[in-house]
Structure 1
Amino acid sequence: MSHTKRIDQALETRGIAVGTFISFNNPDGAEFAAHSGFDFVLIDAEHGAFYFEGTVAMMRAAAAGGAASVVRLPTSEHSGITKILDAGAAGVLISSIRTGEEARRVVQAAKYGPVGKRGFSPGTRAMDGFNNNKEYREWSDKNTLIWAIIENEEALENIEDILDSGISGIMPGPYDLSMAMGYEGDTTHPVVVKALDRVAEIAVKKGVDLVVFTEVPEGEGAPTPYEIAMSWKKRGARFIHFSTDRMIMASGYGKILDGLKEPLDV
């Protein structure tokens, strides 16, 4: 049994895997997203208002729906990475990576020896579904998703070294990067867009998986999710996650209230 079975099938058949961000402490939401057909859920343990136990509950729920879980962690701390992988995460997304050396430490925390420094304990939840410990260790070292977010200027300066560290995927972080560059969240500023494009181009050139986040724009003339996905696929992206549970709920509630404003003055 592979924790990334649905992802593997998606990459093989359509060349791109599709996910969504989970930011609420809501196992039902994670399970519903999985049953809806997303290949993976990205559980935001950096900005989400929950801790380790809440994260594990959502990972279990997503697995019940057939989707893999990648967990966004707030730091590159070794113990945090190994703990969430032992709990059954298919991968980690590490925020605020700045240097190649830091990225290499992340890789070492996620991989077993002799390549890495991940501690081994028999019988962890991550090994459920595998025939034996050896089978899991071999699968894990080869298939664990080790992603880093590029969201500061130091990371931009060190992008090639970061990409050469052994990480499996890179995610351009438009929001924090635009703040770090002094553009106050303007992710469409030409300087920000140029920097993000450079990260994407170098990643694809080096054969590191390009992971992207996109909102789902609304209104007349807005591109469809399919058009967005195909546009990123043409640029070499392998993973794309659409929106967040919070954004989706806010949009849905907003549409209901917009329909009530004129007739009921709500």
Structure 2
Amino acid sequence: MIESLKLRWKRGEVTLGAWCMIPSSLTAEILAKGGFDWVLVDMQHGCMDYQTAVEMIRAIDLAAITPIVRVPWNEPGIVGRMLDAGAMGIVAPMIQGLDEARRLVEACRYPPSGRRSLGPVRVGARDGMGYVAGANDRVSVIPMIETVDALEAVDDIAAVPGVDALFVGPFDLSFSLGLSPGDNDGKPEFDAALAKVNAAARANGLATAVLSTAKLAPLRARQGFQMISVLTDSQALGAAAGASLSSARSAIAEGVHHA
């Protein structure tokens, strides 16, 4: 079985990942084989449906790395389905306080730690019946901190038994803080928000996670984040396409100029 991200975080490791918005098992497979520590299937803002997400998880499994799913909402039905499909971590958006964090843990954990229903059909085919005994220890529960309300409640959220990491959504958090959506490093309220989340996590032995870029990854690691995305498939494809086209056009124009 793949080593749990939780064990790697406890050793102080920084894990780097890729973010999937494109509904394609092939895209997920290509990213997974790129050497990342984890690949996330985004069912909140990504374009995939449930069946496509299942196939994307299976494609990530081929590379023997950790499949993570961001669910559309903190709802037990979809959380359970994605775990049964093989997700080894659940990122839940817009967690606002203590009760919502508790409900997320309950949805991700088998009894007596939670209320997850037993039916690991696809993940059982991958891991065998040993999956059930170890699932509560291996699956990462990751609430998102991305609003002012969540920021005010972050100490309570971090203290919920069963929470493994706090995930900062910089776009929505900036929006909620009255800033332009995005990374607002250097703005006092944004910097203070990141520091507050990291402090709450450290005080409770948790990791922190963040949606980021390759350029910002070193800064985020210095700030204490241990789960850092370095690219999004749709943005990476668009950037690569634009760069290749620009290079080709420049080379052709240069060739015509010298002809």
Common fold, TM-score beyond 0.5? yes
Over 3 Å counting, the alpha-carbon distance change for 1:83 and 1:169 in structure 2 is same
- 1:246 aligns to 2:234 (yes or no): yes
> Is residue 138 of structure 2 the alignment partner of residue 143 of structure 1?
yes
Determine whether 1:171 maps to 2:162.
Answer: no
**C-alpha root-mean-square deviation of aligned residues, in Å?**
2.2
Q: Which moved more, 1:191-200 or 1:49-58?
A: 191-200
Q: 1:162 to 1:10 in 2, by over 3 A?
A: closer
The CA distance in 1 between the partners of 2:131 and 2:180, in whole Å, is 44
CA distance in 2, matches of 1:89, 1:9: 16
Which of 63, 79, 84 pairs up with 1:86? 84
Residue 213 of structure 2 corresponds to which residue in structure 1? 215
For residue 10 of structure 1, report the CA deviation from its aligned partner.
Answer: 5.8
Distance 1:192 1:88 in 2: 35
Q: Shift in Å at residue 242 of structure 1? A: 0.8
Following the alignment from structure 1 to structure 2, what is the Cα–Cα distance between the partners of residues 138 and 237? 29
What is residue 220 of structure 1 aligned with on the other side?
Answer: none
Q: Superposition pairs for residues 51-90 of structure 1, below 5 Å?
A: 51-90=49-88
Q: Secondary structure at the match of 2:33?
A: helix
1:127 aligned partner, one-letter code: G
Q: CA deviation at 1:145?
A: 0.9
- Of 141, 149, 152, which aligns to 1:154? 149
Cα distance in 1 for residues equivalent to 2:117 and 2:169: 30
**Where in structure 2 are there 5+ consecutive unaligned residues?**
254-259
Unpaired stretches in structure 1, ≥5 consecutive residues: 218-222
- The sequence identity of aligned pairs, in percent, is 26
Q: State the 1:258 CA deviation.
A: 2.7
The 3 A distance-change label for structure 1 pair 6 and 39 is farther
* Separation of aligned partners in 1, 2:149 and 2:12: 35
1:1-266 correspondence runs (5 A)? 2=1, 4-5=2-3, 7=5, 15-121=13-119, 124-132=121-129, 135-165=130-160, 166-188=162-184, 189-217=187-215, 228-229=217-218, 231-262=219-250
1:58 & 1:137 partners in 2: Cα distance? 22
